[in-house]
Amino acid sequence: QVQLVESGGGLVQPGGSLRLSCAASGGMFSGYAMGWYRQAPGKERELVARISRLGSITYADSVKGRFTITRDTAKNTVDLQMNSLKPEDTAIYYCKFDSVFANYWGQGTQVTVSS
């Protein structure tokens, strides 16, 4: 059974940093894209950052220059380093592994940016 488990969320002050990690298990993930999405209260889930299966990286305009996505394909992990956090970054953050065959989501981790 495929399982994605996120960690690293929490409460941070504006301007602070957090690092989210996502580890996948229970399957073979070569050829999968890996990404991070977020959903704020009352809003649609949106893409934050994504690495395609070939290694191309996409960032939402709102996080460019502040967030960095990295992956370890040998360990089936994807991380999101978040710097210069803003209150508008507050949301539940989800990791996603996807291919033409299947999509897998993690359960989400809360990130709250507040003084």
Alpha-carbon distance values, 103 to 5, 11, 29, 68, 88 (Å)? 14, 29, 11, 22, 27
Residue 55: per-residue pLDDT: 94
Instruction: Give pLDDT tens digits for 43-100.
Output: 999 999 999 999 999 999 999 999 999 999 999 999 999 999 999 999 999 999 999 9
Tell me if residue 62 falls in helix, strand or coil: helix
98, burial (CB in 10 Å: exposed 0-12, middle 13-18, buried 19+): middle
Residue 106 confidence (pLDDT) above 90: yes
Predicted pLDDT of residue 28: 86
Write down the pLDDT at residue 30.
84
